[in-house]
Structure 1
Amino acid sequence: MTHVLVIEDDSAIRSSLVRSLSERGHAVSSAANGLAGLQQALDQTPDVVLLDLGLPDLDGHSLLTMLRAVRDTPVIVVTARDDDPSVVAALDNGADDYVVKPFGMDQLQARIRAVLRRTGSGDADRVITVGALAVDPAARTASLDGAPLELTRREFDLLLHLARRPDEVVTKREILGEVWNLPYSGSERTVDVHLSWLRRKLGETAAHPRYLHSVRGVGLRLSAPQDTGTADGPATGEDATTAPEPGPAR
């Protein structure tokens, strides 16, 4: 059961969130101001925090900075502020996601699931193995055939996201939203470039994939090789193009 801490000063919104999240099977606690919320975050170690920016005692950005100094708890900012500076400041200060009021509970539930997957909370901390590929979310390390892989931050995040859903086709739009935290309308070329670098480090190509398979018009699938000689034939996705050499860690 996921423990959600709601830090929201509006009593009607707070009560609605507590009720709706509880109905969806979460354990929920709440606080009406920043200092009380910070204390609960320290005492209760929730799985995820829903944080309003417009609090009566502390600005939400300040609270986020204070929380990040002592906890790695995933934080989803839930606020009426929809201006770019507020969004950028929240993400730069350590927020894992940003939801603008009003919002639907189905959307918020999906955001909670996505953040928990992305940050490796709960059972997601276990080492994931797909064939000879091993991904450790807690240590943020990966190895292939026992040899460590030297991955940039984004390459690891991309590999982890796919490894958590082996044999499933994941769209590039979803990857943009959950790995890069970009709008679903962002450029899919970002995914293509990092995918090309990741393939290279896994010792495969788009024309001869072993683990990373492109599905034309749909997305990507991470699957264990059927045998060491498996090749799926010519690449059919956009990532078949040659990408530049990887630069500094992203």
Structure 2
Amino acid sequence: MANEKSGANLPRILVVDDETAIQRFLRTALSTGEFSLHHAESGHEALAAAATVRPDVILLDLGLPDLDGIEVIRRVREWSQVPIIVLSVREREDDKVEALDAGADDYLTKPFGVTELVARIRVALRRSLQQAPEPVYRVGGLEVDLSRRRVLTGGSEVQLTPTEYELLRLLVTHAGKVLTHRQILSQIWGVAYLEQPHVLRVNISNLRHKLEDDPSRPRYILTEPGVGYRLRADS
């Protein structure tokens, strides 16, 4: 897995394809400064990258050396709604229907034009933003502005790690609702971490130390014993 181009504020595109020629073509087509490119050459690499890179769009070839692309789509859909655009030589209608039924958002048959590919990526990004409204969460002295990626306590900005921010963002979008340990682990770290609850406990502890006046008696991030966590919703 390789990071072809970095950019903190650029949409992250995960390219999943094991063909060298296609890799070069996509690298050239998408290295325009508009996207941050990441690459995986197998299904297992793709699943790991989907959890760690947290891409905004996945470009997925179906003919991978270890897992069929359809299986990759199904596994990603177990925990993520990231837009998936299939890029495949398979032209049969049944193949397209199977990919879309598995959870793909779009399907392009190889060969395809650069202009069309970029246009479809932009459409996928727009749809994703429309489906995920960015609220501002306020309770007590805590304010989380998801549209601006800002977290404040008592009016002062708090610096969070990317993982801490994604964890807080998940809690904010479900404020007042209990999220189970497994739900949080699958959403933030991926299904490979479902049996590693200590990872979640450590990050919750870190968040509380940054957000709570008294981390041992939290006011915002509340524990539901044996179940999970809930972000306080009332003021």
Moved over 6 A (4+): 121-124
Q: Which residue of 1 aligns with 2:93?
A: 84
Unpaired runs of 5+ in structure 2? Answer: 1-9, 137-235
Distance, in Å, in 1 between the alignment partners of 2:135 and 2:12 is 19
Out of 51, 55, 62, which is 1:46 matched to? Answer: 55
What whole-Å deviation, never above 9, does each CA across 1:1-51 have from its counterpart, x for those lacking one?
Answer: 111000001011012212321125210000111100110011010100000
Q: Which residue of 1 aligns with 2:142?
A: none
1:20 aligns to 2:29 (yes or no): yes
Distance, in Å, in 1 between the alignment partners of 2:71 and 2:92 is 18
Distance, in Å, in 2 between the alignment partners of 1:100 and 1:120 is 25
Distance, in Å, in 1 between the alignment partners of 2:62 and 2:130 is 24
**Given residue 5 of structure 1, which amino acid in structure 2 is its aligned partner?**
L
2:31 aligns to what SS in structure 1?
A: helix
Structure with the larger RCO, 1 or 2 (CA within 8 Å, 6+ apart): 2
**Given residue 110 of structure 2, which amino acid in structure 1 is its aligned partner?**
K
Q: Which residue of 2 aligns with 1:97?
A: 106
Distance, in Å, in 2 between the alignment partners of 1:119 and 1:20 is 22
Out of 38, 41, 44, which is 1:35 matched to? Answer: 44
Higher mean alpha-carbon deviation, 24-33 vs 101-110, is at 24-33
Q: CA deviation at 1:123?
A: 8.8
Q: Which residue of 2 aligns with 1:4?
A: 13
Unpaired runs of 5+ in structure 1? Answer: 128-250
1:120 aligns to what SS in structure 2?
A: helix
Specify whether residues 76 and 12 from structure 1 end up closer, same or farther in structure 2 by C-alpha distance, changes over 3 A only.
Answer: same
Contact 1:54/1:79 (8 A) holds in 2? yes
Q: TM-score, normalised by structure 1?
A: 0.48
**Which structure 2 residues correspond to residues 1-250 of structure 1 after superposition, within 5 A?**
1-120=10-129, 125=134
Specify whether residues 13 and 69 from structure 1 end up closer, same or farther in structure 2 by C-alpha distance, changes over 3 A only.
Answer: same
CA RMSD, Structure 1 to Structure 2 (Å):
2.2
**Given residue 18 of structure 2, which amino acid in structure 1 is its aligned partner?**
D
Q: CA deviation at 1:124?
A: 6.7
Q: TM-score, normalised by structure 2?
A: 0.51
What whole-Å deviation, never above 9, does each CA across 1:173-197 have from its counterpart, x for those lacking one?
Answer: xxxxxxxxxxxxxxxxxxxxxxxxx
Distance, in Å, in 1 between the alignment partners of 2:134 and 2:101 is 24
Specify whether residues 119 and 23 from structure 1 end up closer, same or farther in structure 2 by C-alpha distance, changes over 3 A only.
Answer: same
Percent identity between the aligned chains?
Answer: 42
Specify whether residues 25 and 84 from structure 1 end up closer, same or farther in structure 2 by C-alpha distance, changes over 3 A only.
Answer: same
